[in-house]
Amino acid sequence: MKTEHLYCREEKLRWWGQGEWLDEPDIVEFEHLGFTCKVLRVCLEDGRDLKHRFGGFLNGYVAIPSDHPFYQKAYEKIPINCHGGLTFGECTDRHLIGFDCAHSFDYIPSTEHLKKTIPSLIKIEKELEGLKKNSMFKDSPIFQKTYRNMEFVIAECKKIAEQLK
């Protein structure tokens, strides 16, 4: 397993706040059952404020070899069960399929950090907390967001490889 840190702890803390992402690598590459798998942390510049970077969440990818029946098939047509379903497919020099961990029920570090640091968003979050307490949806996953960590995303990539096998 090959790991790489693209961003230092201080940058992650400034952009995304406190969390287990501070010490996680930003790229992990590994093989599982003959399939090349990759986990990549999303980090996009915010054009308005270069002090902020959108993201902090992870995406998982699996390469489909050229001799596989799903090679060059549109990802939407590949019957794979994974977190949030397949949301990516690219067929250039190799065929990659993947999923993201930025769904409505996922904890997106940059978004949640902004909700805790920008006064107008802090106010909205406090108002939302009051509404949640009185809502029949207060236990909904959309209000109980989960950070999908490196261990989780690696396991999902392995699950994809097992389904492809």
Residue numbers of the domain that contains 9: 2-164
Helix H or strand E segment including 151: helix 150-164
In angstroms, rounded to a whole number, what is the distance separating the alpha carbons of residues 158 and 28?
A: 13
For 27-50, the pLDDT digits (tens) are 999 999 999 999 999 998 876 666
Question: What is the model's pLDDT at position 137?
Answer: 67
Q: Is residue 35 a contact partner of residue 6, using CB atoms and an 8 Å limit?
A: no
Cα separation of 70 and 61, whole Å? 15
pTM of the full structure: 0.89
User: Looking at the 3D structure of the chain, how many domains does it have?
Assistant: 1
